[in-house]
Structure 1
Amino acid sequence: MESGRAGQLRGGPRRVRVRAPGKINVSLRVGPPREDGYHGIASVFLAVSLYEEVTATRVDGDGVTVSVNGQGTLNLPLGAVPLDATNLAVRAARLLAEVSPGSTGVHLDITKRVPVSGGMGGGSADAAAALLACDALWGSGFSRDELAKIAVSLGADVPFALLGGTAVGLGVGEQLTPAISKTPLHWVLVPADYGLSTPQVYRLLDEIRLRTGTQAPLQPEIDPAILGAMRAGDAPALAPLLHNDLQEPALELAPGLGDILEAGTKAGALAGIVSGSGPTVAFLARSPRHAVELESRLEAAGMTATAVHGPAHGARIASDPAG
């Protein structure tokens, strides 16, 4: 088996490029802290057409190195992206190397398009793309399901970045059930030029609940009406159903997000929501044309904005492997 993989590697690609999507939490309900310190959640994940790109290139030796660049119109504080062993894509490649007899040294070049520390799973998308790219580079031969099982240990959002589309996430988000959602929904994203720490946002949510006497649901659930609206691609029906338990603590940590949400409403958005732990804000539009109009109005108000749609595909090889 190992000799076959080695032979595949010698005749295989030298470089593989993979794209993986960012996501919006259309609904996110959070339970109390568990014994392991994590929170149980019930979320509807939507992959959107804003893609991270990872190019894996075979190099001499057996290490993993990484470089990062940014493209697109969003504010990307690339200095916040680690270039060492803590980078999630590096961790993904090293994890796969441990179970891939044909593994070699690899350099990962990451093109960032998803806001950094923005609540859209950009780092998780990098990890998913690195897994798929290195699997192809090394001829490891893992199925998508097998890669998803490896991905779970890297973080709850990584398996979804592999899957893409629309899915319900339970547990800490790793228990994924794909949902039917074929009609595109259109959004406008407004990022911040700063990030928010996901653990800090969750801790503040616990503090807010403690001081207000709010009881967290032991087993958070998804409103079936959300999935119905998404299945139908009915943006007006979906708008009042958007929900994020992390929005209140995100707003407390970054009060300026309230001004952005208000500006989006005034600009004609059907609804706005902080994505995940923030600080990216996602505004729901009626149609592609409405999304472009909303993007223009927000930019005219001095904000950085970009129109996207979803559901988008999961991690995918972006070009034929280069020899």
Structure 2
Amino acid sequence: MGAGDLGAADARRRDTNATDPDRSVHVRAPGKINVFLRVGEVREDGYHDLATAYQAVSLYEDVVAHHDDGFSVSFTGSVDVSSLPTDSSNLAMRAARALARRTGYRGGVHLEIDKNVPIAGGMGGGSADAAAALVACDALWGTALSREQLLKLAARLGADVPFALMGGTAIGTDRGDRLSPALARGTFHWVLAFSDEGMSTPHVYTALDAHRERYAADIRPVSTAPTVEANVLQALRAGDPEMLADCLSNDLQAPALRLRPELAEVLELGETSGALAGIVSGSGPTVALLAADAESAIDLHVALSASGLRAARVTGPVAGARVVAD
């Protein structure tokens, strides 16, 4: 078969995808932990310059895309989804519409989202939904954008969306959306402690800015170009959890703890129950506790659950948004 025949075959497949009303596409996308997060100054656009080391972990959002005349979304999941918007403000819906505009697709989609990543939990659940929606709609509609084109669309939707698309381990700069893959050997074992109530990311950043202004004379100047420290990259490359435990860092942890003091108790409980170290994930309130190995993670999970906390064992790094064969 020649190149022209292959092109014609691809075109026929795309056409079939876009017109088969019974076809659906299932995509799974991971939540994330920021194992390192340095926050720089506020920029003119209102965002902060960031330097972060992301790790995608095995707590997933599942999105199934169905052909439809319009755009709609519905939710199920292991978390309370009653507060989630189902109108055009929903990030997954925005992703689907953005892809349709970008490619000139004239149909619609219904997205069924099964949520497991905590809502407003600092783990990028909404961003994972958006990344999964991009991949699912692209496959369903046969629009056949490249990974680079999808990443550009993702960056316009939110700072964490490109990483949910990429997965693995990566360094994020600018708003966190300029990504460079980072080598991470082996598997890291985490236990996540969840809160019943989420936290507003803007509120946490506002609290950080207020703290820095209040104590400007006593703390180090804020970096204009934050970077990820070399020891973090070394620990990830080595696949060494003890080395990584020594360099976990999150500039948003202090303001998150001021807003939610009980998180300090969760961190202390985790570390006294065998965790190598703990960190508030992103803007919180999810607490990520790093274990030495799988057996230690099981013991830690049991201890947290026995204390009445909702917890889960996860591993990282894992792949980003991918089509799942049902």
Decide: shared fold, TM above 0.5.
yes
Tell me if structure 1 keeps the 8 A contact 2:29–2:321.
yes
Alignment correspondent of 2:5: none
Alignment correspondent of 1:29: 38
User: Which sits farther off after the overlay, 117-126 or 298-307?
Assistant: 298-307
Shift of 1:7: 5.1
User: Which sits farther off after the overlay, 150-159 or 96-105?
Assistant: 96-105
Alignment correspondent of 1:287: 293
In 1, Cα distance between equivalents of 2:294 and 2:210? 40
Return the letter of the residue paired with 1:164. Answer: G
Q: Helix, strand or coil: the match of 2:120? A: coil
Alignment correspondent of 2:74: 67
Gaps in structure 1 of 5+ consecutive residues: none
Aligned mate of 2:231, from 202, 225, 229: 225
Return the letter of the residue paired with 2:241. Answer: A
RMSD: 1.5
Return the letter of the residue paired with 1:199. Answer: P
**Percent of pairs identical after alignment?**
53
Cα distance change on mapping 1:7 and 1:113 into 2, 3 Å: closer
Q: TM-score w.r.t. structure 2 length?
A: 0.93
In 2, Cα distance between equivalents of 1:83 and 1:262? 38
In 2, Cα distance between equivalents of 1:209 and 1:102? 47
How many pairs does the alignment contain? Answer: 313
Aligned mate of 2:145, from 142, 145, 150: 142
Cα distance change on mapping 1:292 and 1:7 into 2, 3 Å: closer
In 1, Cα distance between equivalents of 2:235 and 2:21? 45
Alignment correspondent of 2:55: 46
Gaps in structure 2 of 5+ consecutive residues: 1-7
- The answer on 1:299 being equivalent to 2:302 is no
Tell me if structure 2 keeps the 8 A contact 1:12–1:139.
no
In 2, Cα distance between equivalents of 1:99 and 1:302? 47
Q: Helix, strand or coil: the match of 1:80? A: coil
- The answer on 1:204 being equivalent to 2:210 is no
In 2, Cα distance between equivalents of 1:288 and 1:309? 9
CA-to-aligned-CA distance 1:139-161 (integer Å, 9 cap, x gap): 00101111011110100100000
Tell me if structure 2 keeps the 8 A contact 1:189–1:308.
yes
Alignment correspondent of 1:311: 317
In 1, Cα distance between equivalents of 2:123 and 2:111? 21
Q: TM-score w.r.t. structure 1 length?
A: 0.94
Give structure 1 regions of 4+ aligned residues with deviation exceeding 6 angstroms. Answer: none
Alignment correspondent of 1:239: 245
Tell me if structure 2 keeps the 8 A contact 1:80–1:116.
no
Q: Helix, strand or coil: the match of 2:290? A: strand
Shift of 1:12: 8.2
